[in-house]
Amino acid sequence: MNINSISPNLITLILVLIIHPLNTHSSTIHDLLKSQGLPGGLFPRNVESFSLNQNGVLEVNLNEPCEAKFDTLVRFDTIVKANLSYGGLNGVEGLSQEELFLWLPVKDIIVQDPSSGVILFDIGVAQKQLAFSLFEDPPLCIPHSSYIQKLGRKEKGIHELQKYR
């Protein structure tokens, strides 16, 4: 076959496939987070779906609001949004963390230096450094409504969440 007989469209297609592989989507939210230098367990096991648009806006959908236990209790809304970049989730919406009996919105989640083993949670009034290892495995997220109805007191709820980790 003569190189001159190859169609310019075919050459363009081959170059596009080499530069931009067809399989650029991660199979799970946890794989996507890992590919961006974040721990895979930042979102719970029961994520229903997620999308990442061209502008880097990540939208994670859960069946219903729920709570999970990391270092403290964390509350996920039905939809959690953030700007995803390598090493960070910025402008987080739909995620709260309990601090001193108050639910404070998480603003940013940042891994500045992956070798440090530390992840930073910015909750507006403070920044909290936590061990990266707390977020390696996706937690079980218990629906907020059933959590309140079944467990009643908060102390029981924490112990119940710890059983599922």
Domains of the chain: 27-164 (2.30.240)
Query: What's the sign of the alpha-carbon dihedral 130, 131, 132, 134?
Result: negative
**pLDDT in the model for residue 74:** 94
User: Higher-confidence residue: 131 or 160?
Assistant: 131
Which of 9-18, 24-33, 45-54, 115-124 is predicted most confidently? 45-54
* Model confidence band, residue 147 (pLDDT cutoffs 50, 70, 90): low
Average pLDDT value for residue range 52-79: 95
- Average pLDDT score, the chain: 80
Mean pLDDT of 140-158: 61
Q: Is the pLDDT confidence value at 16 over 90?
A: no
For residue 146, what pLDDT is reported? 57
The structure tokens listed for 17 are 């496939």
For residue 52, report the phi and psi dihedrals to the nearest 5 degrees.
-130, 115
Q: Is the pLDDT assigned to residue 161 strictly greater than 90?
A: no
Q: State residue 10's pLDDT score.
A: 38
- In 3D, which of 95, 112, 106, 102 has the Cα closest to residue 38? 112
Q: What is the mean pLDDT of residues 62-87?
A: 95
Provide the pLDDT for residue 110: 96
